[in-house]
A and B are shown apart, each in its own frame.
Chain A
Amino acid sequence: MTQEQIKAAIIEQILFIAPDIEEANIIPDKNIQRSLEIDSFDFLKILTALNEVTGVEVPESDYSKVDTLEHMCEYFMKRVKD
Chain B
Amino acid sequence: MSTFVMPSLGADMESAVLMEWKIKEGDRVEKGQVIAEVETSKGVIEIEVFEEGTVDKILVKEETECTVGTPLAIIRTDNETLEEEMPTQTLQHLDEKRPHTDATIDIPVSESSERVKASPAARRKAKELGIDLFSLAATTGEVHLSHVESAAPAEPVEQKTQVSGMRQAIARAMSRSNSEIPHYYLTTSINMTPALHWLEEMNAKRSIKDRILPAALLIRAVVLSLKAVPELNGFWENDAPNIKTQINAGIAIALRKEGLITPALLNAESMNLDETMHSLDDLISRTRAGKLRNTEITQQTITITNLGDLGVESVYGVIYPPQLALIGLGRIINAPWAEGDALCVRKVMQATLAGDHRATDGRTGAKFLEKLNDLLQHPEELL
Residues of chain A from 23 to 78 with CB closer than 8 A to chain B in the complex: 33, 37, 39-41, 44, 47-48, 51, 57-61
What's the nearest-Cβ distance from chain A to residue B210, in Å?
10
Given A47-B208, A57-B207, A60-B203, verify A41-B308 contact (CB < 8 Å). Answer: no
Point out the residues of chain B lying under 8 angstroms from A60, CB to CB: 200, 203-204, 211
The reply to whether B308 and A40 contact each other, CB–CB distance below 8 Å, is yes
Residue A18 interfacial (CB < 8 Å): yes
The reply to whether B207 and A40 contact each other, CB–CB distance below 8 Å, is no
What's the nearest-Cβ distance from chain A to residue B377, in Å?
21
Residue B256 interfacial (CB < 8 Å): yes
Residues of chain B from 200 to 216 with CB closer than 8 A to chain A in the complex: 200, 203-204, 207-209, 211, 213-215
Point out the residues of chain A lying under 8 angstroms from B208, CB to CB: 44, 47-48, 51, 57-58
Residue A20 interfacial (CB < 8 Å): yes
Q: Dominant SS at the A interface?
A: helix
The reply to whether B309 and A61 contact each other, CB–CB distance below 8 Å, is no
Point out the residues of chain A lying under 8 angstroms from B257, CB to CB: 20
Given A44-B211, A48-B209, verify A18-B256 contact (CB < 8 Å). Answer: yes
A20 to B255, CA, bound (A): 11
Residues of chain B from 74 to 90 with CB closer than 8 A to chain A in the complex: none
Point out the residues of chain A lying under 8 angstroms from B374, CB to CB: none
Q: How large is the interface on A (under 10, 10 to 19, 20 to 34, 35 or more residues)?
A: 10 to 19
A61 to B204, CA, bound (A): 8
* Closest residue on chain B to residue A50 by CB atoms: B208
Residue B375 interfacial (CB < 8 Å): no
The reply to whether A41 and B200 contact each other, CB–CB distance below 8 Å, is no
Given A51-B208, A57-B207, verify A41-B281 contact (CB < 8 Å). Answer: yes
The reply to whether B309 and A40 contact each other, CB–CB distance below 8 Å, is yes
Residues of chain B from 163 to 199 with CB closer than 8 A to chain A in the complex: none
A44 to B213, CA, bound (A): 9
The reply to whether A41 and B256 contact each other, CB–CB distance below 8 Å, is no
A51 to B207, CA, bound (A): 10
Given A41-B284, A61-B200, verify A33-B256 contact (CB < 8 Å). Answer: no
What's the nearest-Cβ distance from chain A to residue B339, in Å?
24
Point out the residues of chain B lying under 8 angstroms from A40, CB to CB: 213-215, 308-309
A selection of 12 A-B contacts at a CB cut-off of 8 Å is: A20-B257, A33-B309, A37-B256, A39-B309, A40-B214, A40-B308, A44-B208, A44-B211, A57-B208, A59-B204, A60-B203, A61-B204
Excluding A33-B309, A44-B208, A59-B204, 4 further A-B contacts by CB distance (< 8 Å) are: A40-B215, A40-B309, A41-B213, A44-B213
Give chain B's interface residues, CB within 8 Å of chain A.
200, 203-204, 207-209, 211, 213-215, 254, 256-257, 280-281, 284, 308-309
